[in-house]
Structure 1
Amino acid sequence: MTKLTLGQDAVPARVRQIGSLIQGGEMDKAETAALELLNSHPKRPEVHTILGMIYLQQLKRSRALPYLEFAAKAEPRNPAYLNNLGRLYLDLRAIELALPFLHNALTIDPKLTPTLISIGEYYLSVGKAALGLPYLERALRNEPKNAKAKWHLGEALDALGKSDEANRHYQELHQDGKMLADSLYAMSRNNQPGQNAPLMAEAERLLGEDNLPGPIAGKLHTSLGFMLEKEGKYPQAFDHFDQANRVNPANFDIEKFRQWVDAAIEKFTPEVFREYAGLGHESELPVLVVGMPRSGTTLTEQVIASHGQAAGAGELTRIGQFAAAYGYQRDVNKFIEGWGGLGAHGIREIADNYVNLLRFHARGEVRVVDKLPHNFVNLGFAALLLPKARIVHCSRNPADTCLSCFQNPLNDAHPYSRDLTHLGLYYREYRRLMEHWKKVLPLEIYELSYERLTADFEGESRKLIDFIGLPWDPACLQFHEAESTVRTFSKQQVRNPIYKSSVERWRRYESELQPLLTALGDLMQPADVDR
């Protein structure tokens, strides 16, 4: 690469030119120019920053990281650099690293609106909406028209069960024409049935427009589905849920997943766990709540986290990130062969990282809940790392679980959820894998039935708390009064005392669910179908 002969005073102007390229969408030219500038001026933090921002625009977060870290280290009193790095850590889910940088940025510039928003988002992401609320309120006072601040403030209020206040912010966004589909969707979930007629008319009008992007159309269809469901118009509601999935198709290879489950069942034997026993972390902090999405994991976390000696960390991705890094889901056989090569120190280092993340969420509590449902796939990996972790497996009627997955817009990590047949087949593989883990894992797995929990809430809650090794705390029965964040689609349920209306919901749509019921096959017990 030719080295530029650019004077020091010309660097800021060149950075601005690169910024113009970014704004114009000329990312390749911007990257080339930034790399040339960095070659000539490798110690200038603004050059590292512009290159980092280019990679962020390209969604190459890992490539952006060293450049933003360099800038923050070079000028530790620059609030913009601190905010950039803290925001990136937040996006990378390195949440224990994010907050110190964000708070330091805000200490230097208390009116830095992006930092206020990021801290508010941070607290939302870790289940502390009440702590995030004042930051988002300050951000909105600074910039009353900031759509991002308004949206996240609505989310925080929603998460705390203050839906009327949240709706006011959603309504303002809606009236401004900002985030139309998002604000309409949020209000449709919060409103009572009689309030939704104008929203339904608008959603239908918007769906009539040409060239509507799939994600927006999907959100509008989902909104209509739930509004129609509230009115008891189930066939029409289901049609919109179906269309929401059709406009956002996703490729899913059930055979590939089935083959991975076959390999896990073959290779993860009791002997493997005995061979590597004692190499992980002996901490009793971890409580892993697993299961299919929509199976009661949020409710379970809230019950446990209401205990005075327990905390909820929400859905942490750290176990899955480490599992992916070591090829756990690519090739089970190679993963197991290579695990021993890490040595006791290497394995303990991975385990320490995860336990330290849990400690970050704890403020003296002795149990911390990680409720990422799909950790059911990673339980073989988790058992090698965390020999004293407690596993709570949430289960629910298969058809109710799958219907809820189909109705709610799960992200692209769940491509199986957009087709009824794939949903049923995926559910069968999930159950097959869980049956294997129960046979071979050196960890006890507590089976928590959603139906049993709703039928005998106190009795089942007492058993759950006993399983995680804590004395009974009556606060667990008042989980719906806790000021913690509920960001999943379960927030309406979790913000109310326990009730049974989510049991047997699938019967409203029985005729439309035949592809799912066929795929589930014998997992639907005769009593479930004929009752």
Structure 2
Amino acid sequence: MNTQEQTQLNMLKKALMQSQYATVIAQCDDVLASLTSPEAMREARYCKAVAYRLSGQPDLALHDLQQLVTDFPDYGRAYQEQGYCYQRQGEDQNATYAFYQATRFNPALLAAWQQLEQAYQRDNQIRALQLAQQQISFLTSLPKPLLGATDLLHDGQLFKAEQVCRQYLQANKHDAEAMMLLAEIGMQLKVYSDAEFLLESCVTLYPDNDRAAAAYQALLSKLGKFPQAVKQARRRLQNQPHNMTIQAGLAHALVGVGALNEAIELYRTLLADQPARPALWVALGHALKAAGDTVGAIEAYQQAARQAPDFGDAYWSLANTKTYRFDDAMIESMVVAQHGSTVKLEDNIHLCFALGKALEDNKQADQAFSYYQRGNALKRKTLRFDISRTEAALEAQQQACQAPMFAQPGGCHAPDPIFIVGLPRAGSTLLEQILASHSMVDGTMELHDILGIANSLSHQGNAYPFNLARLSDAQCQALGQQYIEQTRAYRNGAPFFIDKMPNNFIHIGLIKRILPKARIIDARRDPVACCFSGYKQLFGEGQEFSYSLRDIGRYYIAYEKLMNHWHRVLPGQILTVQHEAVIDDLTGQVKRLLAFCELPFEQACVDFHVTRRVIKTPSSEQVRQPIYRSGMTQWQQFEAHLGPLFDVLGQRTNR
């Protein structure tokens, strides 16, 4: 939002505070015509709705608010305003639900919590009342600057929230609440190294603050630092041995380090005590799926759906096995749940992607695409993603990482890592399974360690990646050794190991600077097949480019340009493996892969589908089967809907 837009909004807000409701309503459309940023348009439309309500026109306000939450489905303040409008119309049940929605998307809305408190008292909802009163007590205990910063955070105004929080910390050094809030802002801004430092410091300073410990444990898991997360969870359990939330967090971290038997046993113990926990059933399903027990995983996901028929993650998890087929009754259940008036946004998104997969399996391409499109549109509205920034970041890698930089000696010369990079859904899990079937190679997972090192370099004196060339030999050696040590916990003793984080293609310059002997394999797939497969996939986190056909097409082009650059400045050091070539000539491509990694041929790599190991990506079940060809042409039944993708890629095909 630029200064002019902020000035216009301030004028509207001033008129609103002065009860000039007719002025606000009259001027709002003119102001909206001149605004360009989504945030500014959202605020102006909100002001108009408030003016309608305060001028005694709640019906007009509700009309505008419905469109507002359609365009901004995670805007808590709009739901709060809906609640006030329904109250004015005497619709208490709708008002209560609107206030509940408001607190889900912005838990700092004290007024909405207070309205819920009254509603829960009236309806004698004891448990809900206790939760509301706990949140009210917490919010009212916060200093006003921190309450304001929390509100700004959940309202999506991250930089303003950061500014307020930092100002408060300057005057109140080491305040625990401020440190935790600033860490949460850092996570939203993806400044994970700062967030980790803040939470680690907070836990050290306040060892009895379990909220800080919980936030730190959650961040460690998010960053893929599962050994540290396990340690943190076990420490917390010493003080709270029966805390179900901590036990569930420990089980999640145990899955991360590959201790699947212990994790599964812990999940089953928790569910024996409290079976009506659909999220825990899904978590158990994920652990069983990672262990290769597809039947058990499906049973767990189905149990989650039985416990909560509108729990979208249960259905998406079934769809995400890639082998499960929905029957007509379950499809009907999903349709009913998806169109329910009280379905949560996150559940709605999951249901849309699951219905897309179910209808695609039934050869109903048009109906399937409509659900894929709806799911992607809903997901994209919750993100603040701009593809041009990503394109600029990839262009910066090309500018900063030129051939002379790699002529410098230095770095850690351990030959252990084999990086598999590329776009999601490009066949990287298949390549990992092939290599991990070799007796000298450990398969791990999508490790976050290179991304973490890149993030730490981004906040040093000279902006990353332009500071890569200025790293000393000693710094490169230390960073490379840091990577080797951090990843040791995921290995099982083989001389080599795989890091299959697809987004590492962005950081090949960093990898070769600190680990010059690392092997890098680029998993490549037909552009249309790859992009559409990504568009159909609801990712757990990240991959924000995948929720628009145009964005994913632009991302593919930027990826291809950057990979061409890496091949120019690092000739012969990256192996591109085309997914279609692996399907057409498995043995030949296996030999090519092994030769590049300087590994002797082993038949187990060709028979990869019989290898038993932990796999946590969406392709886990597909790579436990022999090579199949159906994925090469799946997109063709959707060709009529892929115009935006073809336009970006510059191709249209009638294959």
Name the structure 1 match of 2:141.
29
Give the Cα–Cα distance (whole angstroms) in 1 for the partners of residues 277 and 344 of structure 2. Answer: 24
Alignment pair present for 1:361 and 2:490: yes
Q: Which amino acid aligns with 1:264?
A: Q
SS in 1 for 2:630: coil
Correspondent of 2:406 among 273, 277, 288: 273
Instruction: Tell me by how many angstroms 1:143 deviates.
Output: 4.4
- The answer as to whether partners of 1:79 and 1:108 remain within 8 angstroms in 2 is no
The DSSP-based 3-state class of the residue aligned with 1:248 is helix
- Identify which of structures 1 and 2 has the higher relative contact order when contacts are C-alpha pairs closer than 8 Å and 6+ apart: 1
**Bigger Rg, which one:** 2
The answer to whether structure 1 residue 64 and structure 2 residue 199 are counterparts is yes
CA-based RMSD of the aligned residues comes to 3.7
**C-alpha contact 1:51 1:64 (8 A) present in aligned 2:** no
**1:169 and 2:300 matched:** yes
Decide whether aligned partners of structure 1 residues 336 and 105 sit closer, same or farther in structure 2, where only a CA change above 3 A counts.
closer
- Match of 1:171, as an amino acid? Q
Are positions 1:293 and 2:462 aligned together? Answer: no
- Which one is further off, 432-441 or 485-494? 485-494
Question: For residues 13-92 of structure 1, what are the structure 2 equivalents within 5 Å?
Answer: 23-24=135-136, 26-27=138-139, 29-30=141-142, 61-62=195-196, 63-72=198-207, 86-92=217-223
Identify the residue that residue 537 of structure 2 maps to in structure 1.
408
What residue identity is the alignment partner of 2:136?
G
Match of 2:451 among 301, 320, 323: 320
Gaps of 5+ in 1: 1-18
Once residues 550 and 214 of structure 2 are traced to their aligned partners in structure 1, the CA distance between those partners, rounded to angstroms, is 45
Counterpart CA distance in 2 for 1:85 and 1:207 is 34
Find 1:261's aligned residue among 385, 394, 401. Answer: 394
Amino acid at match of 1:69: T
Aligned length: 493
- Alignment equivalent of 1:469, drawn from 598, 603, 607: 598
Which letter maps to 1:509?
Answer: F
Alignment-derived partner of residue 7 in structure 2: none
Give 2:642's aligned amino acid: L
- The answer as to 2:595 corresponding to 1:460 is no
Paired position in structure 1 for 2:612: 483
Name 2:312's counterpart in structure 1: 181
Report the equivalent of 1:6: none
Q: Which amino acid aligns with 2:537?
A: N
| Distance in 2 (alpha carbons) for counterparts of 1:86 and 1:373 | 24
CA contact (8 A) 1:298 1:494 kept: yes
Residue 287 of structure 1: CA displacement? 0.9
Pick from 445, 449, 463: which aligns with 2:578?
A: 449
Shift of the alpha carbon at 1:350? 2.0
- Deviation for aligned residue 1:311: 1.3
Return the alpha-carbon distance in structure 2 between the equivalents of residues 83 and 327 of structure 1: 26
8 Å contact from structure 2 (residues 525, 580) kept in 1: yes
Q: 1:189 to 1:199 in 2, by over 3 A?
A: farther
Aligned to 1:343: 472
Distance 1:243 1:358, change over 3 A: same
Alignment counterpart, residue 381 of structure 1, candidates 497, 500, 510: 510
Tell whether the 8 Å contact from 2:449 to 2:483 is kept in structure 1 after alignment: yes
Contact 1:273 1:442 in 2 (8 A): no
* Structure 2 residue matching 1:315: 3-state secondary structure: coil
User: For residue 8 of structure 1, what is the aligned residue in structure 2?
Assistant: none
Structure 1 counterpart of 2:51: none
Matched, 1:242 2:376: no
Q: 1:24 to 1:154 in 2, by over 3 A?
A: farther
Question: Residue 95 in 1 paired to residue 233 in 2?
Answer: no
Aligned twin of 1:420: 549
TM-score (norm 1): 0.81
Give CA deviations for 1:176-200 in whole Å, capped at 9, x if unaligned: 2277111122234559787421221
Q: CA, structure 1 residues 481+256, in 2 after alignment: closer, same or farther (shift >3 Å)?
A: same
Inter-CA distance 66–335: structure 2 relative to 1 (3 Å threshold): closer
What secondary structure, in the 3-state scheme, does the structure 1 residue paired with 2:612 have? coil
Unpaired segments ≥5 residues, structure 2: 1-130, 148-164, 188-194
TM-score, structure 2 normalization = 0.67
1:134 and 2:265 are equivalent in the alignment: yes
The alpha carbon displacement at 1:450 in A equals 0.8
1:203 aligns with 2:328: no
Report if the CA contact (8 A) 1:21-1:30 is conserved: no
The match for 1:231 among 362, 370, 374 is 362
Question: CA, structure 1 residues 336+229, in 2 after alignment: closer, same or farther (shift >3 Å)?
Answer: closer
Match of 2:650 in 1: 521
Inter-partner Cα distance in structure 2 for 1:355 and 1:252: 32
Judge which range, 113-122 or 333-342, deviates more: 333-342
Counterpart CA distance in 1 for 2:449 and 2:242 is 32
